[in-house]
Structure 1
């Protein structure tokens, strides 16, 4: 921590490993550095701090053992004027979501903050900190550090701008942004100023051509840091109409389809009480997204999310169904509506957000490559063939025919230097499907002896290693997956060829390119490998 006054007083700035060529402009300092304090190595015990409403440990108090991004929202506490740090090292922030000026707190008693040279609002000579925000610095040290570097040209060329926080308007630093590197942390980037317009989630990695890699129509104009992992519960209330009107539902876990789960046609407003969330345009956490942090969102138009005109209703045919449903947004009489909006809790397990598989034309990861972070129905536009691949994170199903047809193979994190021999494939990979993040609810699937849900049937809520032994059922030719994601296997004990089943109705398996196949065992997909 560096300070603009002697004896560790005045405004404070947190510095991690790196170069600071102009401290005053880079960190918004008014004075040069006058003193500094080393922050000791990572604390491996518990964290405890007691915060008080008044000086000298007076008034309302609360003991904290985890991060808090807003003491007003969590504790209904208007002021924090003193604290006692019992264990661990902490940072206090001036603004919500761990932003603005900060104050470093190591173990000890802090009877009032004036003694530390922190000037605030004066009321009857009593210094008060309003809505002070607190962050535990060392629960996971890497999560504290956020850095993204933007470049004017593709392939990290031209002028650059390094950002470690929110930026509402990048035009003062760069004329445009066509590539970027996320050094650490996660960010949302926007194609309009002030966090408006289309949004894109960026994790650690290199983006040599942002516009083509993410399907952006405009270059990046603003960015928002996504704060460290939330360790409490998650709560969001979604509403059918603007201004919290119409049908409503409270959510505490992911939902991959609000129509199927809640019979809710539209979501036009929401109130995020706890945690950070992503809303997705398409089922299974795919398509355009919108980042939601704690707060009230009375209508989504205010966030610059534009839709289609009333004369252009973009429609999407759900797989396995003969009906059409509205895909994203329809503007009707200037009234923006979100149809079948899909929601994903971003941080229950931060790794689960990241899915990546890299395909190579030749064996042993040679030749041209194609990096995929989502479903791909036809890989021929990117590669002439695929003979090896690396699953960097997440789980995927790969198929030997286009459009998720033919023989299927389940792939988890690892290296596959020769796909065809390692997995017994007769043909190279033609399409792939991402298996979404861990399902935290119950699992339910109904299996039927004959096509079109005919014959003997049984409802399953757990794995079955042999349907003949358990149900005296000779074959399974159709099924209805109500909850969770499943794998069906050709042989007992989860062996042989497999078929991936996500929620939906499967009237016959021939439509999936599985000819003459009998499935004898079924297993739930209970984690993301």
Structure 2
């Protein structure tokens, strides 16, 4: 077996991303289970295959969060990498469409507070739903039935999912405006958005899964509170449950 070899950390390519001022470090391995050649990164890399790696087999995130992409130059399906270990490609991919991961960058977190507005129609028209700080494992339960057509992120960074309970393809929403569904997906495989959660960091800017309240009801295992507001529905609070305890796991995992 080839001995692990580390290459110098990559320099930033003209753009800086910061998780509330924190540092970023991720280790990328060519083989599964953290074996083979190893590259350490503290800044974005538009082409991992130019860093002496033929492919990406496993990942360890020391500090982040990071956003990885299926193709070079930050294109294709997106994969959110929070603090923890990812021993195989199916540990970072929810959709399992592809085992390819060819570029990555630090994921910008602009604020410890999170607020997002979802709209039923393109161009911010139709019914509106405001979410503050909490996970929504099922937009269907709040009347949207995956018909989200435009989004405004007021603050914080969010990740949406193609399916309920944080499953399927991921879509990252940083602070800004998204007037149509094709403004938030690189892969263009689907226009469905069925669940959503904020990406949170601790005081040192280290992104990792936040475990708060949980429910085992029809909404799935996610925290829901009255801070979710809309013009057509009211959410209810959920009881607490034990810590699931696996690094790199999302709050909506069962």
Q: Same fold (TM over 0.5)?
A: yes
> 1:115-168 deviations in whole A, cap 9, x for unaligned?
xxxxxxxxxxxxxxxxxxxx6x5xxxxxx2321111222233333221112323
**How much has 1:213 moved relative to structure 2?**
6.5
Change in CA separation of 1:154 and 1:234 when aligned onto 2, cut-off 3 Å: closer
Gaps of 5+ in 1: 1-19, 30-93, 100-134, 138-143, 308-328, 330-336, 356-392, 398-403, 405-432, 443-481, 486-524
SS of the equivalent of 2:148 reads coil
**Inter-partner Cα distance in structure 2 for 1:268 and 1:204:** 31
The CA deviation at 1:394 is 8.4
Distance 1:441 1:284, change over 3 A: farther
Q: Does the 8 Å CA contact 1:189/1:223 hold for their aligned counterparts?
A: yes
Pick from 189, 194, 209 the counterpart of residue 353 of structure 1: 209
Do 2:116 and 2:152's aligned partners in 1 also have CA atoms closer than 8 Å?
A: yes
Measured after TM superposition, the shift of residue 96 of structure 1 is 6.4
Match of 1:483, SS state, is coil
* TM-score, normalised relative to structure 2: 0.68
1:27-46 to structure 2, matched below 5 A, reads 27=11
Residue number in structure 1 paired with 2:226: 441
Which whole-Å CA distance do the structure 2 matches of 1:170 and 1:186 have between them? 18
Match of 1:421 in 2: none
CA contact (8 A) 2:81 2:92 kept: no
Provide the residue aligned with 2:232 in structure 1. none
The structure whose RCO (Cα within 8 Å, separation 6+) is larger is 2
The runs of 5 or more residues in structure 2 that have no matched partner are: 1-5, 228-234, 244-254
Structure 1 pair 305/179, CA: closer, same or farther in 2 (3 Å)?
Answer: same
Residues 196, 187 of structure 1: CA spacing in aligned structure 2 closer, same or farther, 3 A cutoff? Answer: same
Root mean square deviation, CA, Å: 4.0
1:289 aligned partner = 170
Q: Paired residue for 1:189?
A: 68
Change in 2 beyond 3 A, CA 1:527/1:224 = farther
Aligned match of 2:38: 160
CA distance in 2, matches of 1:163, 1:351: 16
Change (3 A) 1:436 1:181: same
- C-alpha contact (below 8 Å) 1:240/1:264 kept by paired residues: no
Count of aligned positions: 224
Residues 225 and 28 of structure 1: CA distance in aligned 2, closer, same or farther (over 3 Å): closer
Instruction: Looking at secondary structure, tell me which structure has more helix per residue.
Output: 1
- Structure showing greater radius of gyration is 1
Instruction: For residue 227 of structure 1, report the CA deviation from its aligned partner.
Output: 4.0
Structure 1 length normalisation: TM-score? 0.36
CA gap of 1:207–1:271, structure 2 versus 1, over 3 A, is same
- CA distance, structure 2, for counterparts of residue 343 and residue 262 of structure 1: 14
Task: Write 1 or 2 for the structure with the bigger share of strand.
Answer: 1
| CA drift at 1:279 | 0.8
**SS state at 2:101 partner:** coil
